[in-house]
C-alpha cells in the first residue's frame, strides 16, 4: 500500500474519530506534508475528510465509486483477514472474459473483477447481458476449490444466488424470488443474473477454478432499452440508490457470504433459502429443451440443485444443464 492507501486505511479504522496529522506521520513513517498530500488526493477521489486544528483529520463520508480498499476493509470486517486480488475499473468489457485471462497468469486463491459499466456482458447460453443502466454492479469472483466436480458448478450458482438474495433483502423491505437456476427477481422484475463457469486444467485433468459472474441492476431506467428488456427488467432501488447506500459495502457483503458458503460447501447451508425463494412452484411453465418447447408444473429442486418438473402424463422430469431455457416473461405473471 502507498501512503494514500495507508492513510485511508487508518481513517476507516478510526470509525469517525479524529487522527492527528502528526500521529499519522509517525505511524506511517512519513512527513506531515506527505500526509497532507495523501489527504488531498483522497478528497479528489470523492472522500469527504474534515480537518480541525488540534484534533486532526476525520473521515466524514466515503467515495461513491468502487474502491478496492473499501471493499477489502468491509470484507475483512465480515470474514477477517483474507488474501484476495482485486481489479476494479470504471468500465470493463466482460468481467468473466477478463477473469479467464487473469486466471491463466495469477496464482491468487481468490480474485475479484468489478465494474459499474460492462460493455460486453454475457449471460447463459452465450446471450448478451443488458448493462446500459445508470447504476449497476457487475463483477466476477474466482475461487479455487480443492475438489470440485463438473456437477458441482450449478450448485455454485445456487450458492451465489442465495448470497445475493440475502444481501439484497438486508437493504429492502420485501423478499426476492429466484427463477431457476440463475435469475433473481424483485417485485416480479428481474434484477440479477448469474453465470458460473468452470476453468479446467488440461495438464492436471481437474478443475483449477470456478468463476461466478454476477450482474445486478441497482437503480435507473430502462426507457431506452428494447421492449423485451423493458417487459422483464427491474432494479432493486427504483430510479436512484438510497443516499446512504455504499456500493463497496454492498459488494463486500455479497462476497463475504459467498466465501463463507464456499468454505463450508459440503454443508449446503445456502440450499434451504434457495428452495424457499424458488419461483413458480406448483405452477405450469413452458421451457425450451434441446430446441423443443415443452411444458410442465414446477415441483421444486432436488439435492443436486436440478429442477423437478411434473409432466402431464404424471411422470417427473429432472432438468439441468445449459440446454434448458425458461423465458423470464412468463414468471412475471406467476
Q: Is 50 annotated as a binding residue?
A: no
Q: Is 94 annotated as a binding residue?
A: yes
Does residue 203 register a pLDDT over 60? no
What span, in angstroms and rounded, lies between the C-alpha atoms of 218 and 234? Answer: 9
Q: Is 61 annotated as a binding residue?
A: no
What span, in angstroms and rounded, lies between the C-alpha atoms of 174 and 165? Answer: 11
- The helix (run of H) or strand (run of E) holding residue 157 is helix 153-169
Tell me which residue of 332, 176, 331, 314 sits closest to 254, measured CA to CA: 176
pLDDT, one tens digit per residue, over 254-302 is 999 999 999 999 999 999 999 999 999 999 999 998 889 999 999 999 9
Q: Is 95 annotated as a binding residue?
A: yes
Cβ neighbour number for residue 284 with a 10 Å cutoff: 14
Q: pLDDT exceeding 70 applies to what percent of the chain? A: 93
pLDDT, one tens digit per residue, over 28-62 is 999 999 999 999 999 998 899 999 999 999 999 99
Given the candidates 3.30.930.10, 3.90.1150.10, 1.10.1200.10, 3.30.565.10, the CATH classification of the domain at 68-277 is 3.30.930.10
Find cell 472522500 and name the residue. 47
Q: Is 124 annotated as a binding residue?
A: yes
Note the CATH number of domain 3-61.
1.10.10.10
Q: What is the CA radius of gyration of the chain?
A: 22
Given the candidates 3.20.20.150, 3.40.50.300, 2.30.30.100, 3.30.2320.80, the CATH classification of the domain at 283-333 is 2.30.30.100
Q: Is 123 annotated as a binding residue?
A: yes
Q: Is 157 annotated as a binding residue?
A: no
How confident is residue 205, by pLDDT bands cut at 50, 70 and 90?
A: very low
**Residue 192 pLDDT:** 96
Q: pLDDT exceeding 90 applies to what percent of the chain? A: 66
Q: Give me the residue spans of the domains in the chain.
A: 3-61, 68-277, 283-333
Q: Is 122 annotated as a binding residue?
A: yes
Q: Which of the two residues, 330 and 151, has the higher pLDDT score?
A: 330
Secondary structure letter of residue 146 according to DSSP: S
The answer to whether the beta carbons of residues 281 and 298 sit under 8 Å apart is: yes
How confident is residue 204, by pLDDT bands cut at 50, 70 and 90?
A: very low
Tell me which residue of 161, 189, 178, 142 sits closest to 277, measured CA to CA: 178
Amino acid at each position: 500500500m502507498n501512503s494514500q492507501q495507508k492513510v485511508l486505511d487508518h481513517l476507516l479504522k478510526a470509525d469517525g474519530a479524529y487522527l492527528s496529522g502528526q500521529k499519522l506521520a509517525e505511524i506511517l513513517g512519513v512527513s506531515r506534508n506527505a500526509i497532507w498530500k495523501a489527504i488531498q488526493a483522497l478528497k479528489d477521489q470523492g472522500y469527504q475528510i474534515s480537518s480541525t486544528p488540534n484534533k486532526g483529520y476525520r473521515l466524514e463520508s466515503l467515495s461513491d465509486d468502487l474502491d478496492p480498499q473499501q471493499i477489502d476493509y468491509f470484507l475483512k470486517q465480515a470474514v477477517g483477514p483474507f488474501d484476495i486480488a482485486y481489479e476494479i475499473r470504471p468500465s470493463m468489457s466482460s468481467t468473466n472474459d477478463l477473469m479467464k485471462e487473469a486466471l491463466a497468469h495469477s496464482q491468487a486463491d481468490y480474485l475479484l473483477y468489478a465494474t459499474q459499466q460492462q460493455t460486453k456482458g454475457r449471460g447463459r447460453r452465450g446471450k448478451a447481458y443488458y448493462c446500459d443502466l445508470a447504476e449497476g454492479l457487475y463483477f466476477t469472483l474466482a475461487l479455487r476449490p480443492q475438489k470440485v466436480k463438473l456437477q458441482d458448478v450449478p450448485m455454485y450458482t445456487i450458492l451465489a444466488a442465495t448470497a445475493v438474495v440475502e444481501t439484497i433483502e438486508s437493504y429492502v423491505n420485501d423478499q426476492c424470488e429466484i427463477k431457476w437456476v440463475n435469475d433473481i427477481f424483485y417485485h416480479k422484475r428481474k434484477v440479477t443474473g448469474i453465470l458460473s463457469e468452470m476453468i479446467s486444467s488440461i495438464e492436471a485433468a481437474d478443475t483449477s477454478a470456478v468463476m461466478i459472474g454476477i450482474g445486478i441492476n441497482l437503480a435507473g431506467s430502462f426507457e431506452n432499452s428494447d421492449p423485451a428488456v423493458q417487459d422483464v427488467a427491474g432494479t432493486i432501488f427504483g430510479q436512484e440508490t438510497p443516499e446512504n447506500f455504499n456500493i463497496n459495502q454492498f459488494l463486500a457483503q455479497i462476497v463475504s457470504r459467498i466465501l463463507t458458503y464456499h468454505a463450508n460447501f459440503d454443508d449446503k447451508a445456502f440450499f434451504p433459502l434457495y428452495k424457499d425463494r424458488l419461483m413458480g412452484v406448483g405452477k405450469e411453465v413452458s421451457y425450451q429443451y434441446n430446441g423443443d418447447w415443452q411444458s410442465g408444473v414446477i415441483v421444486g429442486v432436488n439435492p443436486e440443485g436440478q429442477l423437478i418438473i411434473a409432466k402431464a402424463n404424471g411422470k417427473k422430469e429432472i432438468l439441468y444443464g445449459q440446454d434448458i431455457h425458461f423465458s423470464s416473461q412468463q414468471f412475471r405473471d406467476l
